[in-house]
Amino acid sequence: MVEGYCVVCKEKGVKMKNPVIGKTSKGGFIAKGICSKCNKTKMCAMMSKDNAEKAIKDGEAKKGY
């Protein structure tokens, strides 16, 4: 499950809808998706390499790089 912070709901640990995992310019991993509570806010969350690869392998997120 890919989670992030929603600035509209002001809640931590909100599950993302349709997360896509990409890479930053410095080689880190970032997940981008839509808030599952308010269904309109775009969310981002930095991830470790292990968590990003696990989310892709488990089918929770799509690979975007």
The SS3 call for residue 55 is helix
pLDDT tens digits along 37-54 = 999 899 999 999 999 999
Q: What percent of the chain is predicted at pLDDT more than 90?
A: 91
User: What is the average pLDDT across 18-35?
Assistant: 95
In whole angstroms, give the CA distance from residue 41 to residue 32.
11
Asked if the model's pLDDT at residue 65 lies above 90, the reply is no
In whole angstroms, give the CA distance from residue 28 to residue 25.
7
What pTM does this model have? 0.84
24-39 burial: b if 16+ Cβ within 10 Å, else e: eeeeebbbbbebeeee
Query: Quick check: 29 and 22 in contact, CB under 8 A?
Result: yes
Question: What pLDDT, on the 0 to 100 scale, is given for residue 8?
Answer: 92
